[in-house]
Amino acid sequence: MRETVIANARRSYEAAFAVPPRWITCTPGRVNLIGEHTDYNDGFVLPLAIDRHLAVAAGPTTSTMAEWRSDDFDDLLRLNFSIENSPIPGHWANHALGVLTLLQRRFGPVPPFNLHVCSEIPVGAGLSSSAALEVSIATLLEQIIGRVLDPLEKATLCQKAEHEFAGTPCGLMDQLAVTMGRVDHAMLIDCRSNHLQYVSLPSPSEVALLLIDTGVRRSLAEGSYSERRRCCHETAASMGLKSLRDATPQLVERSTLDAAQRKIALHVVAENMRTVLAAEALIRNDLAEVGRLMFASHDSLRDLFEVSWPEADMLVRTARKIGPRGGIFGARMTGGGFGGCVIALCRTEVLPEIERDLQIAFTAEFDRPCGISTVNAVDA
Ligand code: GLA
């Protein structure tokens, strides 16, 4: 809960630095309903900010060495504040350091501050803990320097920090979702124009969004994400297109792509269509159609884009067996892939039975439980 994370950040800061923090900022994580690996192809995504938060408590320091700490990691960062900073290989604080550095390049030096990060967004679970940290730091810096950035500009600065300091060439979806999320709504984002349309979600008393954590963790920087992104760009270039957003099934059929490129292109083309259709279906409250599109998205991420993992495949298979008659409209992996979570759109009245059946099936196959909870759309 937001209040709990904020209280924990305050308490941890006081325990570490023996004074209360001067500033506290808090940012949600996100799930993506549909539209995976489309953002960096100028395509469509449909994420929502969720009720899992990360909070940053900070205060000024007169010491030349500021200390940045996190509840999630043992290695604290001792930082000699300067305008230019280099990333520290493998360090959790790179996301924060990147935002500080990029912001200082624009607005000049920021006085040194100590920092403590508390989070209920698991790291590497596909819920955008990195974007939440970046945006929380950007909000903190806005308060410290007394300026408010335009939300798109803020999200873009955080994305650049992720590229330059964390080494992940991500799209803009995560940073936009956790900057601009709205309670009870998902956001249909056109990642070419960055035009954003809020799409109302069904009432949680009738339809629940179930978050199933497979417990498998991935690191986006490990290479597979960058590799997919590079392949998308090469494929678009070899089709003579600016990006795969401009591809159509007919163009893919007619081009001389190799087998791997063809699969990648077919995923992106169909996923863009599915995302727009899913937003339209949500608007007319056609949950059966949203669910069908979610299942199709997962199949495509498994068979064509090849970023799903066995635990997610198994959960989606089980969800499909339960199906709309058993209360599951659709399910799919969410986020970059190779680990993390599955989301399922479910009828709220049968949630206990659904949770039980998924848990029994998962435990039988993997000999350990998965994490099951519901998530709601919140304001960023
Ligand atoms: C990660 C990236 C996003 C997006 C997704 C896949 O979450 O940060 O930009 O590319 O993967 O849809």
Q: What is the mean pLDDT of residues 167-195?
A: 97
Q: Which of 284, 278, 375, 283 has its CA nearest to residue 330?
A: 278
Are the CB atoms for 65 and 179 separated by under 8 Å? no
Query: CA-CA distance, 33 to 160, in Å (whole number)?
Result: 24
Q: Cα separation of 194 and 156, whole Å?
A: 11
- 111-122 mean pLDDT: 97
Q: What is the distance between the alpha carbons of residues 8 and 285, in angstroms, rounded to a whole number?
A: 39
Q: Are 134 and 96 in contact (CB under 8 A)?
A: yes
Tell me, in angstroms, the distance from the centre of ligand 1 to residue 89's CA. 21
List the strands of the sheet with 341-347, edge to edge: 328-334, 341-347, 207-213, 371-375
pLDDT above 90 for 219: no
pLDDT at 181 > cutoff 80: yes
First to last CA, the chain: 14
Beta partners for 57? 24, 116
Q: Which of 39, 72, 150, 174 is catalytic?
A: 174
Minimal CA–CA distance to 133: which of 33, 307, 5? 5
Mutate to test the pocket of ligand 1, among 32, 36, 38, 39 (most ligand atoms within 8 A of CB): 39
* Ligand 1 atom at minimal distance to the Cα of residue 35: 12
Q: Residue 42 catalytic?
A: no
What's this model's pTM, rounded to 2 decimal places? 0.97
| Ligand 1 atom closest to the CA of 131, numbered from 1 | 8
pLDDT band at residue 51 using 50, 70 and 90 as cut-offs: very high
Q: Can you give the pLDDT at residue 221? A: 58
72-97: pLDDT as tens digits: 999 999 999 988 899 999 999 999 99
Within 8 A by CB and 6+ apart from 229, the residues are: 40, 169
Average pLDDT over residues 290-318: 98
What is the distance in A from the centroid of ligand 1 to the CA of 38?
8
Cα angle 209-120-195, degrees, rounded to a multiple of 5: 55
- Report the separation in Å between the CA atom of 108 and the middle of ligand 1, taken as the mean of its atom positions: 31
Q: 220 pLDDT exceeds 70?
A: no
Q: Give the atom of ligand 1 at the shortest distance from the alpha carbon of 220.
A: 1
Ligand 1, closest atom to CA 39? 10
Q: Using a pLDDT cut of 90, give the percent of the chain over it.
A: 97
Q: What is the mean pLDDT of the chain?
A: 97
Task: Specify the range with the lowest mean pLDDT, choosing from 8-12, 177-181, 215-219, 244-248.
Answer: 215-219
pLDDT band at 178 (very low <50, low <70, confident <90, very high): very high
pLDDT confidence of residue 223: 85
Report how far residue 154's alpha carbon sits from residue 71's, in angstroms, rounded to the nearest whole number.
Answer: 25
**How many angstroms separate the alpha carbon of residue 334 from the centre of ligand 1?**
9
Q: Which residues pair with 328 in a beta bridge?
A: 346
Are 81 and 110 within 8 A, CB to CB? yes
Identify the burial level of 160 via C-beta atoms within 10 angstroms of its C-beta, where 0-12 means exposed, 13-18 middle and 19 or more buried: middle
Extract the tokens encoding 245. 């957003």
Predicted pLDDT at 88? 94
Residue 218: pLDDT band (50, 70, 90) is confident
For ligand 1, residues with CB inside 6 Å are: 36-37, 39-40, 170-171, 173-174, 335-336
Residue 330 C-alpha to ligand 1 middle, in angstroms?
A: 21
> pLDDT at residue 130 above 80?
yes
Residue nearest to atom 11 of ligand 1 (CA): 336
Q: Where are the alpha helices (DSSP H) in the chain?
A: 2-17, 94-107, 129-145, 151-161, 173-180, 224-238, 249-254, 259-283, 287-303, 310-322, 351-366
